[in-house]
Amino acid sequence: MLAASSIAHVREQLTAALQLPSGLDDADRIDSITALEDLVRVATAAQAALARELDAAQREVQARAGVPAAVRGRGVAAQVALARKESHHRGQRHLGIAKLVAAEMPHLWAAWRQGKVTEHGVSLALRETACLEVEDRLEVDRLLAADPGALDRCGEREIASSCRRHAARLDAAAVVKRQRRAHADRCVTIRPAPDAMVYLTALLPVKDGVAAYAALTRAAESARAAGEDRTRGQVMADTLVDSVLGAHEATTGAKVELGLVMTDRSVLGDAEDPAYVEGFGWVPAELGRVVLDATLAGTVDTDEALVHLRRLYASPTTGELVAMDSRARAFPKALGRFVRLRDQVCRTPWCDAPIRQIDHVDPVTEGGPTSGRNGQGLCQACNLAKEAPGWRAGLAPDGSVETITPTGHRHRTCPPVLVDVHDRPPLRVRHYVLAT
């Protein structure tokens, strides 16, 4: 295994090569691209080997520290994620792949180390054989390797398809049981799309998903037949939204909350500072005003009003949110909402997961206050990881949070800037619009 200094030397050589004309002909350029792709694959295999070794070493350290066997290994995936500059979820996946493939699919592990397959291809093979006993998974691995050179020619989908076919033949009952158990994984997720749009995705049992899509299709065809100008896709999308929101209001008697952060100048139309929509991200000020106008229409600002305005205060030097009025909320709940608005996503570097828990940077047991400055929004996995032995966190003088891992590596993070303070008077009042 190359030492860190040797890897740094290879990186320097590659960086230098990128800054100069290669001097290669087209055939050599293609050969170099192929060689570099193989290098990338081998590098991810090396990362996996080191992650597996780190896990074993950290478990030993935790065992000597008296950590119960059931929770040994906590925090290792988070360290892998930080090292690879990725989210905790991806760190868990990387570590899981590293541990399983070497132990239960040795031929695939050898192919990965030789640069014949990608890390994603390995993850697909493990996913499709997850329901099998170890003996059957080893047999699938043997069958994949039975055709010399086959893995060199197989794409990722082919690898997954082959594993699925072999699994169904070796243990059909386990595959059927897994498919039935997958019913519990049904969920709805959201992620940003370009141009102030979002992807709303539902993972459903096949009968429900097909039936829902068929119903939306029939609604669109009926509307189009009646002379509707909207496209088929537009009618389907509008029908889905109207059905969900209408059913929610009819059942609960309340409308859905939508968080919107805008400067006072943008609300009044005196500036075009971008607005921040909670759960989505940045949108132009004009779109923010459209959302605000549509929400405020027909409402009255009373204790029972559907819309509440709260003032947010931004630092005059950094633009970070530093305080919020507590009107219309009990202080602890308002403070939690403030931290979520300020941090937007999990504060762990590169995580980007939704905030699930508000954590004290300096623990309460050590005198840490319950305040916005001492609070940070974390996903559940990152909050659990920092409770493992050897993890430390503290506030730096500039207000950022510095996290120190068991290996002594330091990671510092600051809340994102929500307000542009360039050429602005100090400590201007910013409005938070809670639209319901």
86 with 202, same domain: the answer is no
234 with 290, same domain: the answer is no
Distance, in Å, from the CA atom of 30 to the CA atom of 25, rounded to the nearest integer, reads: 9
Asked if 152 and 34 touch (Cβ cutoff 8 Å), the reply is no
Task: Measure the CA dihedral 336/341/345/347, to 10°.
Answer: -70
What CA–CA distances, in Å, run from 296 to 35, 121, 266, 317, 433?
60, 50, 16, 32, 10
Over residues 268-285, mean pLDDT: 74
Number of domains making up the chain: 3
Q: Is the pLDDT of residue 139 over 60?
A: yes
The answer as to whether 18 is a domain residue is no
Q: Is the pLDDT of residue 429 over 50?
A: no
Mean pLDDT over each residue of the chain, to the nearest integer: 81
35 with 177, same domain: the answer is yes
196 with 287, same domain: the answer is no
316 pLDDT band (50/70/90 cuts)?
low
Listing DSSP states for 358-422 in one string gives EEESS-GGGT--SSSTTEEEE-HHHHHHTTSTT-EEEE-TTS-EEEE-TTS-EEEE-PPP-S--T
Nearest to 383 by CA among 369, 363, 366, 365: 363
- Residue range(s) defining the domain that contains residue 217: 187-252
- 288-296 long-range Cβ contacts below 8 angstroms, 24+ apart: 288/260, 288/262, 289/262, 291/258, 291/260, 291/435, 292/260, 292/262, 292/267, 292/433, 292/435, 295/258, 295/433, 295/435, 295/436, 296/435
For residue 265, the model assigns a pLDDT of: 72
The answer as to whether 17 is a domain residue is no
Which stretch, 270-279, 311-320, 364-373, 421-430, has highest mean pLDDT? Answer: 364-373
Over residues 316-325, mean pLDDT: 60
Q: Which residues, including other chains, have CB under 8 Å from residue 187's CB and lie 6 or more apart?
A: 202, 203
Over residues 25-40, mean pLDDT: 88
**pLDDT tens-digit map of 56-87:** 999 999 999 999 999 999 999 999 999 999 99
**pLDDT tens-digit map of 187-234:** 998 888 887 788 899 998 877 888 888 899 999 999 988 888 899 999
Nearest to 342 by CA among 358, 321, 327: 321
What CA–CA distances, in Å, run from 144 to 116, 178, 195, 331?
13, 22, 44, 59
Hey, which residues does 260 pair with through a beta bridge? 277, 433
107 with 209, same domain: the answer is no
Q: Is the pLDDT of residue 413 over 50?
A: yes
262 with 408, same domain: the answer is yes
Residue 190 is encoded by which pair of tokens?
């959201």
35 with 163, same domain: the answer is yes
Q: Which residue has the higher pLDDT, 10 or 302?
A: 10
276 with 293, same domain: the answer is yes
356 pLDDT band (50/70/90 cuts)?
confident
Distance, in Å, from the CA atom of 97 to the CA atom of 91, rounded to the nearest integer, reads: 10
Residue 23: its H or E element: none
Q: Is the pLDDT of residue 303 over 60?
A: no
The answer as to whether 163 is a domain residue is yes
- 204: phi then psi, degrees, rounded to nearest 5: -130, 155
Residue 293 is encoded by which pair of tokens?
């106008």
243 with 272, same domain: the answer is no
The answer as to whether 147 is a domain residue is yes
In the DSSP assignment, the letter for residue 42 is: H
Residue 171 is encoded by which pair of tokens?
């243990």
Domain boundary among 181, 198, 232: 181
Biggest CA–CA distance in the chain, Å, is: 74
274 with 400, same domain: the answer is yes
Unique residue bearing structure tokens 């291809």: 121
Residue 223 identity: A
For residue 252, the model assigns a pLDDT of: 62
240 with 118, same domain: the answer is no
Strand arrangement, sheet containing 392-395: 392-395, 401-404, 410-413
pTM above 0.85, yes or no: no
